[in-house]
Structure 1
Amino acid sequence: MPKPLDPAAAPATRRMRQHAALVLREAGIGVALVLLVAVFASLSPIFFTSNNITNIFTQIAINVILAVGMTFVILVGGIDLSVGSVMAFCAVVAGTVLKAEGLAESTAIPLALAASVAVGAVCGLANGAISAYWGIPSFIVTLGMLNVARGAALQWTQARTIYEFPDAFNNFGSATVLGVPAIFLVALALVLLGWFVLNRTVFGRLVYAIGNNEEAVRLAGHNTRLIKIAAFVIAGVAVGIGAVVYMTRLTIASPILGIGFELNAIAAVIIGGTSLSGGRGSIIGTLLGACIIGVLANGLILIGMSDFLRQMVTGAVIILAVILDVYRARLTRRAA
């Protein structure tokens, strides 16, 4: 006669299955990345040169930073289409602080970073609060913020570009540490911080829980609105950091920068295995997804593919990732 199952062991068993599925999903994304690298390395002799590897790390750094914040939003079942525009607004505010008269470099640089992060956090707070308290889909709210932030950036500068920043600020964008771009190390630091929050804190567990079953979390006594708002604020903070990092690379602050960046961030999150319906995914998967996008873009350029065809290929990869996500969700439901 089979031994009856212990009901208390069911949640632990379920968590073990979910963790195993997550590891397998990330392993699959990693294998896809390795295969992509192998293909381009065989097609282009300069793909594996140190200069090109450094270029790839530099190019994906901003997308990784934005995608880390986007992961939190998508995990709670939301979406943020305002990322690129908010980034431009953060940049011009930070640029204004850097150009303020009477401020020493040692003071202006941290103040600019603080101002950029504050602007991003306020925009994220507005997105999250309106969506959570009025029950408006985040797609609509952030679409409105996209226009508000872009218009604010243009109004702030009268559509002018801000430039001539301190040398110490500009030099960071081209600095390397043991051959690795400093801005990529910033992105990696945010990935590690995001991983810790999602996997080692109560808040992180609640983020996943809301994406899976928001009503159950609410009935358990948690304020789901505040948690969802916090996810949007985290995304805004990531945008503020990304804006300053991008400024160090371009050495300018333009009110038109960041156009389309939200799509790249969303693509990295989806390709990395995070479900659009929320509740499933990881920061490590997001990092791998951003790497796939960066390697794909770089490799297609090296083999001489035109801009138009590159856009078509990238779009096809995103669609394929969404289709795979649908199939993964079906398999997960059957396994449960």
Structure 2
Amino acid sequence: MTNSRWTQSLLQYGGLLAVLVLLIFIFSVSSENFFQTSTLVTIANQVPDLTFLAVGMTLVLIVGGIDLSVGSLLALSSAVLGVLMAHRGWSIWPSLGVAMLVSGVGGMINGSLSVGFRIPSFIVTLGMLEMARGATKVVTDSQSVYIGSRVEWFGQPLPGILLSPAFLTAVLAVIIGQFVLTRTVFGRYCVAIGTNAEAVRMSGIRSAPYSIAVFGISGLMCGLAGLAQTSRLSTADPNGAIGMELAAIAACVIGGTSLMGGRGSVISSFIGVLIIQVLRTGLAQIGVSDANKQIITGLVIVVAVMLDAVRSHWGKSK
């Protein structure tokens, strides 16, 4: 059993890492400027916001849900952070606490409505996407809020290690998320709910609190993502993070998380984030237009979904 687990982990992570290394090799050959410390450091320090979203999205997908509101909740938390710091004179940590509270409540509302009224999470979170985006514009009066050096430090590389506090915090979130998923009762119940919710119910376990909780966690991750993005841009942008919900879902799917629920890995989703960012950066460096970048990235996502379907079918037929 132990050998089987090791083999499965090796195939899962090894395959993704092989894809990541292959992409780095291809772009290093195609562009003389790609395989440089500055480029790799830039890639690492651009992924924290998407990484936070992918951590929360992985848990949501595992229980059989989906969260289309994460981009808008990110923007809303960023707006709250920006207004409190720039207009109210608050320091970063109390501002972050309020921002995470707002996005966390948004996530809890998503979960409560979806579970309580048995509405597909696709519909509920689509509505939250619009409401949170509208609230963001109300909070900022549809104007960008400049914060500057009071928040920039979180997204800037630290001397010596060249990695930002945002990146290190994102890696910590990945480690904690993977531990919760694989080493706690909460994580095991989440996987069980996504695999067979009816069986969980028949065994006497109430699945509702767990399903609501993962949406709340997703909302909290949006708050951290808002801080990461704001620190990188020095500004809270009411139009920021548009479409990031799709990038978060794509990273999870590329990492092998099933859209049908019951299977996923936070570490794999993180590798999926790195693959997406390497792909974006590499295509930009070799001069691929934005339109063609979208086509190629979309193709990669479709292939990943197809491979997931084939893997699921193969697993059931064994």
TM superposition score normalised by structure 1: 0.91
Could you tell me which residue of structure 2 aligns to residue 115 of structure 1? 98
**Structure 1 stretch displaced more, 15-24 or 55-64:** 15-24
Higher Rg: 1
Residue of structure 2 equivalent to 1:92: 79
**Alignment-mate amino acid for residue 267 of structure 2:** I
What amino acid is aligned across from residue 44 of structure 1 in structure 2?
Answer: S
Contact 1:26 1:273 in 2 (8 A): no
Code of the residue aligned with 2:30 in structure 1: it is: L
Distance 2:281 2:92 in 1: 32
In 2, the alpha carbon distance for the partners of 1:316 and 1:134 equals 36
Q: Check whether the contact 2:49–2:224 (CA below 8 A) recurs between aligned residues.
A: no
Give yes or no for the alignment of 1:256 onto 2:239. yes
Q: CA deviation at 1:53?
A: 0.5
Equivalent position amino acid for 2:158 in 1: T
- Percent sequence identity over matched residues? 42
Whole-Å separation in 1 of the counterparts to 2:259 and 2:147: 41
- The residue matched to 1:176 in structure 2 has which SS? coil
Task: Provide the rounded CA distance (Å) in 2 between the counterparts of 1:101 and 1:271.
Answer: 41
**Which of 168, 173, 176 is the matching residue for 2:155?**
173
Aligned to 1:7: none
Aligned residues: 317
Query: Amino acid of the residue matched to residue 242 of structure 2?
Result: I
TM-score scaled by length of structure 2: 0.96
CA distance in 1, matches of 2:185, 2:12: 23
Structure 2 regions of 5+ residues with no counterpart?
none
Point out the more displaced range, 172-181 or 240-249: 172-181
8 Å contact from structure 2 (residues 156, 163) kept in 1: no
In structure 1, distance between residues paired with 2:98 and 2:4:
43
1:124 alignment counterpart: 107
**Superposed counterparts of 1:196-275, under 5 Å:** 196-275=179-258
The residue number in structure 2 matching 1:74 is: 61
Query: What CA deviation, in whole Å up to 9, does each residue of 1:247-286 have, x standing for no partner?
Result: 1111111211110110110000000000100111101110
Q: CA deviation at 1:25?
A: 2.1
Change (3 A) 1:275 1:16: farther
Q: In the TM superposition, what is the alpha-carbon distance from 1:26 to its structure 2 partner?
A: 2.2
Aligned residue type for 1:233: G
Q: Which residue of 1 aligns with 2:23?
A: 36
1:217, distance to aligned residue in structure 2 (A): 1.1
**Structure 2 SS opposite 1:310:** helix
- Given that 1:157 and 1:255 are in contact with CA atoms closer than 8 Å, whether structure 2 keeps it comes out as yes
Q: CA RMSD in A?
A: 1.5
Question: Structure 1 222/310 Cα, relative in aligned 2: closer, same or farther at 3 Å?
Answer: same
Distance 2:153 2:60 in 1: 32
**Distance change (3 Å), C-alpha of 1:210 and 1:17:** farther
SS at match of 1:255: coil
Of 307, 319, 323 in structure 1, the residue corresponding to residue 306 of structure 2 is 323
AA aligned opposite 1:89: L
- Letter of the structure 2 residue corresponding to residue 91 of structure 1: S
Cα displacement (A) at 1:19: 6.5
- Partners in 2 of 1:189 and 1:96 — Cα distance? 27
**Counterpart contact for 1:65–1:190, Cα < 8 Å:** yes
Answer yes or no: is the 8 Å Cα contact 1:68–1:238 preserved in 2.
yes
Distance 2:263 2:26 in 1: 30
Q: Distance in 2 between matches of 1:120 and 1:170?
A: 21
- The one-letter amino acid paired with 2:152 is N
1:100 Cα deviation after fit: 4.5
Q: Provide the C-alpha distance between the structure 2 equivalents of 1:21 and 1:164, rounded to a whole number of angstroms.
A: 46
Q: CA deviation at 1:101?
A: 4.0
| Residue of structure 2 in register with 1:4 after alignment | none
Q: CA deviation at 1:20?
A: 4.1
1:117 Cα deviation after fit? 0.8
Cα distance in 1 for partners of 2:189, 2:7 equals: 20
Change (3 A) 1:223 1:312: same
Q: Match of 1:75, as an amino acid?
A: I
Q: Is the 8 A contact 2:258 2:264 kept in 1?
A: yes
**Which residue does the alignment assign to 2:48?**
61
Partner of 1:162: 145
Letter in 2 for 1:118: L
Structure 1 stretches lacking a partner, 5+ long: 1-12
Checking the alignment, whether the CA contact within 8 Å between 1:54 and 1:181 is kept in structure 2 is: no
